[in-house]
Structures are given as structure tokens and as C-alpha cells.
Structure 1
Amino acid sequence: INKPFVYTVVVTNKGDVALDDVSVSDKAPENVLFLDADKGTVAKDQKSWNLTIKSLAPGQSITVKITAKVTKAVKGLKNTACVNAPITEENPDDCDDATIDTPEPKPVLACTGLDVKTISRTEFKFTATREVKNAEYITTRFEIRNAKGEVVATVANVDGAINYTQNNPGTYSVRATIVAKVNGETKTVTSDNCVKQFTVAKPPVETHPAVKIDKKVNGQEHVTVDINKPFTYTITVTNTGDVDLKNVVVTDKPQDGITLVSVAGNLGEIKNNAWIYTIPELKKGTNNAKTFTLTAVVKKYVAGKLVNNACVDAPAVPNGGNPSDDCDDATIDVTKPVVETPGVDIEKYVVLPNGGNAETMPVKVGETFKYRIVVTNTGNTDLKNVVVTDKAPAGVVLLDASAGQVAANGQTWSATTNIAKGKSVTFTLTAKVTVESDSALVNTACVDAPSVPNQNGNNNDACDTANVTTPKTPVEEVVRACNTQTGKIEFVKKGQENVAPYTSDLSKCQVKMCEVPGKEHLPANSPNCKEDEKMCTIDGKEHLPANDPACKEDEQPAEDETPVELPRTGLSGTVVGLISLGATTAAAAYAVAGRRNN
């Protein structure tokens, strides 16, 4: 383990043609790292190696040595290398593997020593040392025997050290035994180095009265509490002397801001936010300690650390003139109330083809696209019944949405959701552009959360826009070109005038063009290639040709003459006018037909 070894990779061209760009690769198995290679490249993470052979002749072999190490014990660990030549059909073309094992580790289990430290006349600390390799350590067991060889105590501790108290005077022995699991079996081991003697001396005749007090809040020296949420103080009074004590007075006076509520068992009295209790008799020893539990509360926020001090005073314990024999405190601080500041924001985008976001994007008429709306809770409290709305601009119709409801007319969309603080909700709307527009089509999405105060009397808390533009539909430009197959001049798309069978050389069609101003696009032999006929300029007869016999001023009858029949010129003019109009229409139709044919 962790010692270098070598994998050998031999690549051979077994074909009858040279192979180019042959790729050889090897991926390290689990618990194996590649250190180096005489050819190719080892990856930075030491998990793979690769080599590209530029050319490999038929029958040629290339040998590579890869130095590696195994980091953990393994058995039958297989490593596979593969080769691939682009010219061949298989991928990879061939693979081969090699297998490694590591030696079975030899377990080591020993108890190497035992230290006995005297803390007091009756208290001792036993510390055992051990050596455990290739085995699973479980615990250290201490066995204490008296002078008769009788077992008086057995204590186990995973840390290999214990504090032991023995009040009976005499000589004792302690033996440490190491417990471990070797190859799946639980084994124990001890040694002569792990056996020691210790002596508990007889107590002195002189007495030493003493008392100790210990205070915790919620089981700790310091905690953080919430306003109006009860918490507990635990006060433990122990007679640490060698004589029983009587009339031991215990008091507790918290700092302002802490209110004592009750004491378990109704022991003592709480008065003026102070607790006092007298223990009639407190026997010596930790087993006889008295524990009191007080419930307290903080009713309003107070900054900083609040101290609660408890004290004990036993008449028999000398205190050097101090008011108490021992005191201990526990401290708290108060969770500062959080002022709820709800907030919400909205961002709107047009979704790009690659899935990204854009403020503006061109969209063709009739093409579908997507809007993305992201609503974020920017406050410090959860939001409920958040309403998100979107109104499509003229020229855009909403088709579908990832959530919420699109109106039947496709003009509006809305959704209602809940958003946890610090979280965002994303909606996707599918839309389509229906008309071409000279200006951007601006779409506005808004959000309104009931718990968020609107700014400046707005109905919504926040709004954002995204725009689409409609590219102009290109107008195809046409030019005249000679069709060499038909011998006629035709209109074609610009850029196609010299693409067979067309040529921009109009002379190839040998057609003379009309020279009449405004009719140059017509062939010279077109019936419409002539000056437009001049029309009559007399009021009421403008529809007649100028050379029409009726194009003259009507004769005025004598004032005393009464006409006996209607003038015939009116009817004749009408007929001529209709004929002229028909001729004009026919000429126009002929001109159109001529343009189509020419």
C-alpha cells in the first residue's frame, strides 16, 4: 500500500496497413493513483492516462510503463487499458486488463502501559496506553480488585482513561484490558505493564466541611433564549466536605430582564423575583447532591448578556467573612426580534433560442417564442397568495404557460403562488407575433403580494418589461433581363439577371424599346407605345377625344324659339363617351397584357 508499482501497456499493430492517430487510454480503478508514465499524459487528478500514437507500422509495437500506487488494501483489483484506431470500425478496437492484490495486513493488539494518578485521598485517574493496528479498537476495560483479590469495580471507557473514586481505605490493584475486533472477532489483551496498585489512605480525624454550587441554563453555561419562551435553570448543591451539613441556604437572584416563574416541587419561595431555600440536611458526597430546577422567562428584548447568580451558604463551612461559601452563574442572551420586511421583485425576459435571457429579441410574424418571468421573494418572511399577471401588447397573443391561466382571447395571463423567503418562482409563457410593427412590442409583467405594501399607491408591487421587434418583410427588387431562350425581355429578381437563361445585355433580345416618355418599359411595337390621345377640354365633354366632331360648343337657341325635340348630340356624346371609355379600358387591359408578354 502506497508503494509505487508499474503497469506495462504494449500496443501492437497486427494488421497489414499503417495506423495513424492511434488512441491508447487507461482509467485508474478505485483506490489506485497514476504517478507517472514514460509516454503519454497522466491527468492532473491522477485518475487516468492517455497516449496518441501518430503512426504505427504493421507489426510495430510500442511499450508504455505507467507508475502507480494503491492507497488502500485491495484484492483482485482489475485495471483495463484500451486502444482505438480511427481507421477501424470498432471503438475501442481492443482492451486488456491486469489485476493486483495487496498483502493481508497483520493485526497488532497490545496494552502497553497503565498510569495511576492520585487526585485526592479517594479519587484516582487511570490512563491506559495501547497499540492497535489493522484491528478495530472498541474500548478499554478497567478492573479494580481489593487486597483479597475480589473485584470491587469494572469500568469501561472508549478513551482509555477514567476517574475512579474509592472511599474505603486499603490497597487495591487495577488492570487495564484492551478490547478490539480482529478479523471480525472480538479479542481482549492485557499485560503486566497494564497492572498497577494504589492505596486509599485512611481519612484524617480532622473534618473539612465544604460545599459547592453549580448552575446551568438549559444544561449549559450560556444559551440564547426567545422572548416569552420559558427556559430552565438547574442548581446543584454538593457537600464536598467530609462531614454532613445542616441548614444550608441556597439563593438565586437573576439580573433585571429575567423573570423567575416557578420552582419544581415548590421548594422554597420566589419573592421580589428572588428565590431562597434552606436544605435541612445535606449529607456529604456527590451522591447526596441536591438539584433544583427553576423556570424563568424573558418578557421583552434586552440587549447584551444577562447574568443569573446562585449562591450557597452553610453555617458549618468557614467562608472568610464572605456572605456565601460558593457562587456560580449562568448567562443568557435574547434573540433580537426580527422586524418583518416583506418584499418582492419581478424580472421578465424573452427566451433566446439557446435558452438564455434577453431584454429584447427579434421575432418574425407568425413565429412562436417564449417569455420567462422570475418572481423573487426579496424580504425576510414567506409570501402567500402572490399574484403574477401579464398583459400581451397589441400584435402579440399568448398561447400557453408553464403554470397559471391564459385567457381565452390570449391577451392576459395570471398565476397565484406562495414563495418562501429567499426563494424564486419561474414561469414560462409561450406567445406568437401576429402583426408587423415599426416599433418594439413591449410586454409588461407585474406582481402583487398582499403582505407587501404598494409603493406610491400602485396596484402592483413591481413590474418589468421585455420587448420583441418584428423585422421588416424584405421587398424583392426586380430588374429587366433578356431571356435568351425566348428572345423576350422579362422582369427578374435583382442578382438573377445574369443567371442562365438570362442576361443583362438587353440587346441580345433585339427588341427596340418605346421612346414615349413614361412608356420606356414597353417594346417599341407595343400597341400602347404611342402618345396618349388628347381629350376634349370643353366642360361636360372631357370624356371625348379632342378630334371628336361633338367636341365643340353647343349652339344656343334663339330666346323666342321653343325646341320641339331633345338635342341628339347628348345621346351621341354619351355613346361616344362609353365607346371611348371602353377603348381606354381595353387599351389599359392590352397594356397590362403587353407587359406580361413582354
Structure 2
Amino acid sequence: MKKNKIFNALTGGLVLGSLLIAFSGCYGGRTICTPPCPVMDACAPCAPYGPDCKPCAVLDCCDYRMEKRTPNSVGVNCPFESVYTFCPKTDLKDVEFTDKIPENAEYISSCPQAELSGNTLRWSYPNLSEGEMVEVRVTMRAKNCGCLKDCICAKAIPCACTIVCVGQPILEICKEGPEEICISPECPDMGESATYNIFVRNIGNFRAENVVITDIVPEGMVHASGQRELRLDVGCLEPCESTSANITLQPTRCGCFCNIARVTQACDNRVCEASACTRVLCPKVGITKTGCPMQYIEHCGECPYAPYTITVSNLGDMPLSNVMVSDYVAEGNYIVDAGGGSVNCNTITWNIPCLNCGESQCFNIALRATCPGCYVNQAMVRANDCRCPVSACASFQTEWRGYPGICVELCDSCDPLFVCSETCYNLAVSNQGTAADTNVRIVGTLPEQMEFISADGPVCAQANGKQIVWDAIPCLAPGQSVRMTVRARGVCPGDARFKLQVSSDTICNPLNEEESTQVLARPCY
């Protein structure tokens, strides 16, 4: 009867074992499988306390192996420990152990802690995996002499389990680009471009599929394609696999621009992004030139000159190096003071090693002109060693004026003379100045002691009584002279004074000149 109860418990699936004896063989058509657990030690032989002494019991079935060990013998009121081991041969769920405390024993403790209900100890495990060994220790104390019969029962539900490896792709993205570039403010296309490197890596433990990199072109930059969003289909990335891409953008203006790249994958709504910011610098140089708008040219030992000031400024947002300043002197001018610059023919040059942002530097020169006229003096600045060469020009016009200087000479050819004798008044009008004079008008007046005979010169003359008027000379150039002659006859004795007036567009108050001639009475013979 005892063996049948155990067999029914095994085949019924409720109480799967009562560890009183060691089982082997096959029950109910089921084959007892070889346990995957470590081989346990064989039970030690019982102490000579009677035929019922059984300190070791093993239950070995297809689903699990269970073993219980107790001491061979114990003393009254002496604590002793029972050890239960349970090793699944397959995955199990709803596993439960119960141990009913014998009437002749007192429960002290258990490890792991059991759930005590009356005199029954219970341990529950929702799930146990194949090969996952469980050990339970129970400490009791015997109350009286005799035999203690202690049974532990187990029940469990076998499970057929599969294992699916679940991995997760994790994409990591980083982006690198230049911190600073420069462009020419006049022509941005001629400046530097920004090349960004995008790196994407799968740092997860599963393959990433349909990986797409999207690059957002910021305002202020353009791509050769003209698109504002650049898409790159990567495909699949295995764990630890990486890929990279390069994107080149051209800035259109100055400022700070951040280029953002995003990466996405299938079956994951997360978006990873990285950015790289670039400061676009615009070097700019300015030049101004101030000077004297009008000056007179050299004359009679006076040496007036025209001063000029050239100012070079860094108007951009980056330092300029090896700045070359040149001033080109116009033909007809010559250099009086080069302001510390190097002179080569009609060119003055200065070199500025470094011109920081906001700084300015001035150069002063002085020029003279040899001929009247308007002369344009040009200056240019250029930063040669800059990554984006820049230049600027400035000019200033000076009107160099001459000034006419009219000189009048008057003399007579015969002095003194007798009445009825003739004399010639020779007059010369010269421009000793540095500019032409216009509309030169000459008027001569004979005294009462003289009468007009004739007049000649480069222009026509008309006599009206004692007054002789020549037509106006349209232009009298510097250094040019005109000569006129007036023939007159003495008519009465006296101190005769021939008067001459010269005026022009520049001579508001006429020049007056006189020539004295003594007219004598003719003696009688």
C-alpha cells in the first residue's frame, strides 16, 4: 500500500513524490531520464537504531530529481537539520514543496524561510529553469525517543519553453566640422567652404535596418544640389559596424551657423542627432584718402605742396596680415614727402605686418605739381596673406592752379624830340605767371603835346582822337608776350606823358603805365 500511494501521487501530478525511498526505473509507462544536475553522493548507511532508519531518500523522474538527507540519529531535545535538494530537468512552473512536521518534533527554523501553516511548511517557486538547483534546510528538535518520520512532497507543472534572443540596435552619431572659415564679402563664392564629417555607429547588440542619415542645411549656407535637406540611405548596420559621410557647404554670408545631422532606423521612432557649428568670418579692409582740393603750382621760388592723409582700417571680424598699402602719384605730380614709405618711380608703398579688428593706421604724404590741371591721386590696400584676400581703393582729386602775372613794359624810341619830330612808343605785355590770362585789353592815351600817326601789333588797333584801343587778346599763356608800337609826332613843346592801361579777366583794376617824353621847340637858324 505504501508504494502504491507514492506511485499514484507521481502519476497524478499533484503530489509528485514523498521522499521515503529512492526510486529508479519507469513508472506508468514514463521513462526516468538521466538528471542534468550534478551527481549527488550516495546515501550513507544508517546507524544501528533499527530497520526503519533511513537518512537519505531520492526521487528521480523525467521532470526533476529530488533528494532529502537527515542525520542517522539525533538526541532528544537536540536540534538537527534536514537538507532537501531539488534539480529540474526541464523548465517548470508553479513549483511547491510541503513538509509536514512530525508529531514527535518541534520546528525551529528553515532556510529559505518557509510559510508555516499549522504544522505544515510550504515553499513556492513560480518558475524554475532547467538545471536551476534549489536547496532547503529545515531545523527541528526531537521531543521523545522513537522514530521521526519526516516527508517532503513536491508538485510542479512541466513547461515546453523556447528562447528567443532579443537585441536592440543603438545608433550613435557624431559630427565634425571647421570651427572657423572666411569668405570674401564682395564674392562669397570665392571664399572657403565648410566640409562636415558625419560618423554613425551601431553600438547596440542587434542589426539596425533601413538606416537613414538626414543633414539639415542651415540658413546662410548652401549645398551644390540646392537642397535644404540632404538624405543618405545607409541600409543595414551590424553591431559595432560604422559608416561615415562627408558634406560640403558653401556659406553665403557672415555669421555662426550650426549644421545638424540626424540618423533614424526601422522599428525605432527615436531620432539621434549631432551638430557642428561653424563661424563664418568676413575679412574687410577699408581705405580713405583726404587732401587739399586746390593748390597753386610752384612759382618764383615759392614751393606750395598738397598734403594727403591715407587711412587704412580693418572693418572685418578677423585680423589681417601682410597688409600692403600703395599710393600711385599721377603724372605731372612729384613726391615731396613719402611719409616713411618706399618710393619706386611714382609709387609709394607701405607694409603693415598685422592689422587687428577695428584698428586703423594713417600715412601722410605731400605732392607738388609742375603744370596746372586736375590730378587724381589713387591709393590701394590689399591683405595678401589672408585666407580670403581683400582689397580696397580710394582716390582724391586736387586742382592745381597757376596764377597769371601780367607785366607791362613801355618806352619811347626818341626822347627828347623837337616839335614836328616823331617818336615810337614800344609797349610789351608779358604773362610771367603760371596760368594763362584771358581777354587781355590794352588802351593807350597820347598827351596833348603829341598827335597819333599809326599803331600796330598782333591785334587790330583803333584810334579815337588821342586814345588808341586794341582788340582784346583772347588768351595770353604763361611766358607769352605781345608787342605793340604807337607812332606819334610832337606838336607843341612840353612834358608829354603817354599813358597805358592793361586789364584782363583776372585784373579787375587796370594796370597803369606812363612814359615821359620831352618835346622841345625847334630852334631858329
TM-score by shorter chain over 0.5: no
TM-score norm. by structure 1 comes to 0.27
Structure with greater proportional helix content = 1
Q: Higher relative contact order by CA 8 Å / sep ≥ 6: 1 or 2? A: 2
Structure with greater proportional strand content = 2
